[in-house]
Chain A
């Protein structure tokens, strides 16, 4: 017995539900005329479809509308969101943040340069290239990364609530 291919069966689904383009439907219908196996599958589709429709639509309880709408609208409504990209943040707020960041890098660089082992470190070519300011920026970056890692579990737990 030759098995009907998935594509053939899908074409029969389209015929049963009247989906797809008219030309393909017409071609499938013409094929079905002379194919007992396809006619049989269409009959099965029709029988199962008909049996399922015996479960008619049910009416919701009459008071459901009032309950659902009143409870839903009691909750705080989310107003349309405004643009939240950083570019929308006023520069007035950004300037002191950037200034504080630059000052902290300079302070940290001075503190690093004053350390007794800095003279030894400066002999390394990579440290010479980085100089105290670069090294300070790296230290801040690393501290920021560590802080993010420390906060990650709490943030994950919060997002799963």
Chain B
């Protein structure tokens, strides 16, 4: 089972094979979890979105078309769309909050589990990504952490490659400011 290609496992999942779903899950758990985590910045939410994502894989496996792309691309598309919806729902819920109140809530999301996992620098990077517009964060996360080609990101996000590259340049400019070491005399 472990050596079988993705498309064969998805076909088994489409026939109701729970063991095939488990194999696919274990194969993609870490990259999918980290994709969602870096988009959402919250381990709790990443776990919920993992549940939603693989539930979709289970119920929608019959709609997967291997001739149109890879399983990983399909999986990332599901994870991305679910995370986008959840983040949008949360944003609507906190629309009335002031900017610093949102930041306070974001820092409260750094529970003991997060503190255990993330270094000080990691937390600074997470904070810098969290401040970016979601469409900029998406391209940075998929490009830098998942080494996807711009063509693959274009398929997942349904966005032209040129637009993605322009977003990447903008993201680099923003991150350069945010990740620059604090100058002496500044807090």
Contacts and interface: CB of A to CB of B under 8 A. Distances in A.
Interface residues of B, number: 53
B156 to A, nearest CB: 16
Contact of B168 (A13, A61, A68): A13
Given A58-B117, A58-B118, A80 B14 contact: yes
B62 A69 contact: no
Interface string A73-100: 1011111110000000000000000000
B150 A19 contact: yes
Interface stretch (A48-56, A102-110, A112-120, A121-129): A48-56
Given A57-B34, A58-B118, A79 B55 contact: no
A54 B168 contact: no
Interface in A18-60: 19, 44-45, 47-49, 51-60
* Chain A interface residue bracket vs B: 35 or more
Given A51-B125, A54-B125, A69-B22, A45 B29 contact: no
B172 A72 contact: no
B125 to A, nearest CB: 4
Contact of B125 (A55, A58, A65): A55
Contacts of B124: 54
Contact of B34 (A58, A76, A79): A58
Contacts of B118: 55, 58
B131 to A, nearest CB: 14
Contact of A77 (B16, B38, B119): B16
A79 B16 contact: yes
B158 interface: no
B12 to A, nearest CB: 11
Contact of B122 (A45, A56, A80): A56
B175 A45 contact: no
B54 A72 contact: yes
Given A52-B144, A52-B175, A79-B62, A72 B150 contact: no
B136 interface: no
A154 interface: no
A72 B16 contact: no
Contacts, number: 121
A71 interface: yes
A78 B33 contact: no
Contacts of A65: 22, 25-26, 29
Interface in B123-145: 124-126, 129, 140, 143-145
A49 B169 contact: no
Interface of A: 6, 9-10, 13, 17, 19, 44-45, 47-49, 51-61, 64-65, 67-69, 71-73, 75-81
Interface of A is mostly: helix
A75 B172 contact: no
21 contacts: A17-B149, A48-B175, A52-B144, A52-B145, A52-B179, A55-B118, A60-B29, A60-B30, A60-B50, A61-B47, A64-B29, A64-B33, A64-B50, A65-B26, A69-B18, A69-B54, A71-B55, A72-B55, A73-B18, A79-B62, A80-B62
Nearest to A4: B169
B58 A72 contact: yes
A9 B166 CA distance: 9
A80 B62 CA distance: 6
